[in-house]
Amino acid sequence: MNDNPNTDLLSSMGFDETLGLHIDSVSTTEVTGHLDPDDRHRQPYGLVHGGVACSIVESLGSLGSALFSMEQGMAGSVGMTNATDFIRPHRDGRLEARATAIHQGQSRQIWLVEITRSVDGKLVARGQLQTHNLVSDEVIGRTSA
């Protein structure tokens, strides 16, 4: 562990807190969480909005990716690609999510995230997140190239 102030990622959840995403377990190779959808998560047809699934993929994969990068002495990581597939609609009831590292290299990582219904374990969505490892914190928040 380095002395980078970003290592305490769970102390400031920001968007995840607004979304209502709860982190259940975290490691450098797997992150789990859950969300209890309510009216703010639904689109006009009453289904959970696809952006919710995309956000879960991004959040869980990014958290695990950042922790792995920091464990390797890097500044963290940033998302490069988020591809989310919607398998079946969901209206009510808890959603469980599990992010698993598929590849963890020196410059990039790939994470697979599966989102299932708690009631029957059926897959609701799956996504793949590719991240880029940041060697230095000087590139975080840079406004020009």
Tens digit of each residue's pLDDT (9 = 90 or more) over 53-72: 999 999 999 999 999 999 99
**pLDDT recorded at residue 83:** 98
pLDDT for 82 beyond 50 = yes
Structural domains of the chain in order of their starting residue, each with its CATH number: 15-104 (3.10.129.10)
What is the structure's pLDDT at 3? 41
> Taking all residues of the chain, what is their mean pLDDT, rounded to a whole number?
90
Q: Write down the pLDDT at residue 56.
A: 98
Contact status, residue 65 vs residue 131, Cβ threshold 8 Å? yes
Write out the two tokens for 89: 């609609």
The pLDDT tens digits for 9-38 are 554 568 999 999 999 999 999 999 999 999
Contact 87, 123 (CB under 8 A): yes
Q: How far is CA 43 from CA 4, 16, 18, 38, 50, in A?
A: 39, 19, 17, 11, 9
